[in-house]
Amino acid sequence: MASPNRAVELSPRHPEGAALVRRIAGGDEGALAALYDSTCGLIYGLLLRILGSSATAEQVLVAVYQGVWEQAAVYDEEREKPLTWLITMAHGRAIARLGADVQYEEGQSGYLKIAGSVPAFKHDNDSLISERQRIVRSALAALPPVEQQMIELAYFSGLRQNEIAARIGLPPQSVRAGIRAGMTRLCGAFEP
């Protein structure tokens, strides 16, 4: 169990992640803060890679955690792990942001805020974010080249599996299997 001053480290198999989401569904802002603290570096790194702009990545980061706040009640821990759910949500919002203009406003005290009742956050721990970005880059670099290419095309370029298959000349089922294997290896890099 994490000490009160230390963020809970989430991994794909970490049981506390699902408990945090259940607490968020019950309106526990502290649980949202704990989830944010333990995952914002990874999610911000993903968003930055997809969006290419730190300002836009920060805006979408807030939208992701607003989505967590709003959708926690429908999260199904039997269907997917909390980190997978969060990454999928972040990826979807980033791809949507690439194709649409979403209105954000600057809130009081410098926090980025979206209209609604979700608590607002702004990450201040750049060294933690840099370290997690380094871990993501190193985990990606350790993948076999074809899996790395598939994941980059899917998650950072927003291509669908059939589009990836056409681009790299493999059958769609091979792409599906390659992405699944690569994501399993990447998730393993975040286990304690």
Contacts of 66 (CB under 8 A, 6+ apart): 114, 116, 118
CATH architecture of 1-124: Orthogonal Bundle (1.10)
CATH architecture of 143-192: Orthogonal Bundle (1.10)
Domain boundaries, the chain: 1-124, 143-192
Within 10 angstroms of residue 106's Cβ, the number of other Cβ atoms is 9
More confident residue, 43 or 10: 43
CA-angle at 174, arms to 168 and 154, nearest 5°: 60
> Tell me: the pLDDT tens digits for 99-130?
654 333 334 333 333 333 344 444 444 555 56
> Tell me: the pLDDT tens digits for 62-83?
999 999 999 999 998 888 888 8
State the angle between helix axes of 172-188 and 126-142 in degrees (0 to 180), rounded to the nearest 10.
Answer: 130
For 152-176, letters b (16+ CB in 10 Å) and e give bbbbbebbebeebbeeeebeeebbb
